[in-house]
Structures are given as structure tokens and as C-alpha cells.
A and B are shown apart, each in its own frame.
Chain A
Amino acid sequence: MTLTLFLFYLAAGIALLSTVLALTRANAAHALIFLIVSLLAIAVLFFFLGAPFAAALEIVIYAGAIMVLFVFVVMMLNLSEGSREQERAMLDFSNWWLPGLLTAVLLVELLYVLTAIESETSVRAVMPKEVGLSLFGPYVLGVELASMLLLAGLVGAYHLGHRFLQRDRGRRD
């Protein structure tokens, strides 16, 4: 096994482990940190898959903006303590048998589908320039739509958060 391959599987393992940990913590801040680790590991995977631009975006936007937004909200709502009930609810068998069953079945099916393909094909690295040309070429309409979506998200987020902040500010004054 070459070094690349070993590092590849290591990054995959870290991503998997940290994702599982992220979703099973009681403390929200801990969970978010684990999630960020998972995202970073996936960025490494992107590098190995010959998509450096995607890796950079994953770190900058996904881990850097979206997760930070999560952190802000968690800080604002003072959720980092977690609660005893939440932990107990997670460990209670009657709560996770059905999700477990469903996900297990789904996993089996996915694996069945995915392992039907032959393995060991080569990848070709795609440079940012190529991506940029593609974005402003065939996918320019998608870009415009995505920007409109972001505008909608902006307006929605402002409107939804606006009164919350106002009330808070009012109380402090």
C-alpha cells in the first residue's frame, strides 16, 4: 500500500469517526467541533481525489462559514451545557432501535448497489481554471439561480432573526 493510499484511508476513517462522535454528543459545542474535524478530513479526501478547488471551498465556506454560523447560534442561545435528559434519551434503546434498523437496511442496500461496480479506477485532477470555465460556460444559469437562492436566504434570515435581536436589545436598554 502506498503512502497516498494509507493517508487516504486514514482521512476517511477520521471523517467517519468524527461524524459519529459529532452526532452523539450531548454538548452542542463539542458536537460542532467534531463536525468541523469531519469536514476538514473530507477536505483532505477532496485533495486526494484531485479536486483542490473543492477542498479549499470545503474548508473556507463549509467549515469556515456555515459551521461558524452554527457556533454563533449555539453561543447566543447558551446551548453548550447540554442536558442530562438529552443524554439519557440518546442512550435509551426504545429511542434508537427504529432509526438504527432503518439506517442499517438502507446501508445494506447502498452497499449492495455500490459494490457492484469494479474498483481501482484512476482519477484525474481537475484544476480550478477548468471549474471556473465550466461555471461561466455551460453552468452560468445555475450560478445565477444559486445567487438568487442566496438572496432569498439572506432576506429570510434577516427577517427571522430581526425581531429576536430587537427584543434582546430592548431589554438590555
Chain B
Amino acid sequence: MGAEMVPVEHVLVLAGLLFVIGLFGLMLRRNIIFMLMALEVMLNSAALAFIAAGARWGQADGQVIFMFILAIAAAEVSVGLGLVLQMRRQLQSLDMNDAVRLRG
């Protein structure tokens, strides 16, 4: 592709928007699957920001960090979904308002 005239700052703005949307979804939804999805959105937006930064400076570091974020997301999702299974088994529901035993 070479040197392109792509507005990197706009990509960062997009990343910010996506992050905020993800946060909104995290606060709004009560179902845990959707909360996990919102987390994925937020992670993805951070990855986007890194790629944009790496492209702007022309270094490989951005993509390397992106790969690490990918590894993190993968590990987190697998364990998180395992927990979802357990939650379904113990509480018979996936509503976060039912999982409040860790209170006080």
C-alpha cells in the first residue's frame, strides 16, 4: 500500500467512539453474554487505536501489541465463557442482578 493519505486522527476518534459504545453496552445490558460482547468491543477499539498509532509512526510495534491484545482477548473469553456455563448451572439464570452473593 505504501504511504497513504489516511486521516489517522479520525481513526483514533473512531476508536474512541467504539470504546464509548462498548462501555455504554457494558453498563446497559444485564445479560452476561452481552456484557462479554461489550468487553470484546472495547478491547477491539483499543486494538484499533494501537494499529493506527503503529501506522502513523511506521513501526511494527502497533501490530505486535495488537497481537498481544488478541491473545488476552482469547484467554479472557474462554475463561469468561466457562464462568458463564458455571453461572448458568448454579444460578439457572444469566442475569447479572442475580449474581450478587459477593455483597456487604
Interface residues of A (CB under 8 A from B): 2, 4-5, 8, 12, 15-16, 19-20, 22-24, 28, 31-32, 35, 38-39, 42, 45-54, 57-58, 61-62, 65-67, 69-70, 73-74, 76-77, 79, 86, 89-90, 95-96, 98-100, 102-103, 106-107, 110-111, 114-115, 117-126, 130-131, 133-135, 139, 142, 146-147, 149-150, 152-154, 156-161, 163-164, 167
Contact A135 B20 (CB under 8 A): no
Question: Which residues of chain A have C-beta atoms less than 8 A from B59's C-beta?
Answer: 126
CB–CB B70/A69 < 8 A: no
B94–A79 CB distance below 8 A = yes
Which 9 A-B residue pairs are closest in the complex by CB-CB distance? Answer: A160-B82, A153-B75, A23-B25, A99-B27, A124-B58, A157-B78, A134-B60, A110-B16, A123-B55
Q: How far is the CB of A164 from chain B (nearest CB, A)?
A: 4
Residues of B within 8 A of A2 (CB): 5
Given A146-B71, A156-B79, check contact A35 B28 (CB 8 Å).
no
Q: Could you tell me if B48 and A42 are in contact, using CB atoms closer than 8 angstroms? A: yes
- Alpha-carbon distance between A65 and B76 when the two chains are bound, in angstroms: 13
Number of A-B contacts (CB under 8 A): 251
A50 lies within 8 A of B48 (CB): no
Q: How large is the interface on B (under 10, 10 to 19, 20 to 34, 35 or more residues)?
A: 35 or more
- Closest CB of chain B to A153's CB: distance in Å? 3
B6 touches A107 (CB 8 A): no
CB of B49, distance to nearest CB on chain A (Å): 10
Q: Are A126 and B82 in touch, CB under 8 angstroms?
A: no
B91 within 8 Å of A (CB atoms): no
Please determine whether A107 and B20 come into contact, CB atoms closer than 8 angstroms: yes
Contact A70 B81 (CB under 8 A): yes
CB-defined contacts of B18 to chain A, threshold 8 Å: 15-16, 19
* B residues in contact with A52, CB < 8 Å: 1
Report the minimal beta-carbon distance from B50 to chain A, rounded to whole angstroms: 9
* Residues of chain B lying within 8 A (CB to CB) of residue A125: 1-2, 4, 55
**Is there contact, CB below 8 Å, between B51 and A51?**
yes
Residues of B within 8 A of A96 (CB): 24, 28
A52 to B9, CA, bound (A): 20
User: Are B13 and A22 in contact, with the CB atoms below 8 A?
Assistant: no
Asked whether B56 lies within 8 Å of A70 as measured between CB atoms, the reply is: no
A142 contacts B16, CB within 8 Å? no
Contact A135 B71 (CB under 8 A): no
